[in-house]
Structure 1
């Protein structure tokens, strides 16, 4: 009676956490940026990294 085994990985948690921390750093940059263009870049980075963070949890979770 063979039994199947599955291997689970915590890669999704690690990648999700790393992207989450980068998203927090990008949002912090939004508040300390000197000009409007730099603020927009920080916001765009925060939104993009947040989307990737959620996607990582869904793909590897």
Structure 2
């Protein structure tokens, strides 16, 4: 059976609210994280800073789908 999940590297996007008088600081350029994504639906199952963590979760999810 083919794998249902894959690991993708995506840009890190942070949304923050500010209060009057606060300074907005952006995310440093070129930051990414690794997500486990369902291949057919595109549903994401978590963000990881380390690729090895994302790969481990992906393998765990793919093994659950196997009979």
Range into which the TM-score falls when normalised by the shorter chain: 0.3 to 0.5
Q: Higher relative contact order by CA 8 Å / sep ≥ 6: 1 or 2?
A: 1
**Structure with the larger helix share:** 1
Normalising by structure 2, what TM-score? 0.31
**Structure with the larger strand share:** 2
Normalising by structure 1, what TM-score? 0.32
| Structure label with greater radius of gyration | 1
